Amino acid sequence: MQQLVFATNNQHKLEEVSAKIKGRFKLLSLDDIGCTDDIEETGTTFRENASIKSHYIYQQYKLNCFGDDSGLEIDALKGEPGVYSARYAGEHGNHAANISKVLQNLHDEKNRKARFCTVISLIWNGEEHFFDGTVEGNIRTELSGTEGFGYDPIFEPEGYNITFAEMSMDQKNSISHRARAVDKLIDFLSTTSGL
Determine whether 135 is exposed, middle or buried from the number of CB atoms within 10 Å of its CB (0-12, 13-18, 19+). Answer: buried
Q: Which of 69, 75, 108, 132 is catalytic?
A: 69
Cis peptide before 157 (omega within 30 of 0): no
Phi, psi angle pair for 112, to nearest 5°: -110, 15
Question: Measured between alpha carbons, how far is residue 46 from residues 4, 52, 126, 131 in Å?
Answer: 21, 10, 21, 11
How many beta carbons lie within 10 A of that of residue 83, not counting itself? Answer: 21
Determine whether 139 is exposed, middle or buried from the number of CB atoms within 10 Å of its CB (0-12, 13-18, 19+). Answer: buried
Q: Is 69 a catalytic residue?
A: yes
Question: Measured between alpha carbons, how far is residue 140 from residues 64, 70, 77, 101, 155 in Å?
Answer: 39, 20, 15, 13, 6
End-to-end CA distance of the chain: 9
Residue 58 identity: Y
Question: Which positions are annotated as active-site residues?
Answer: 69
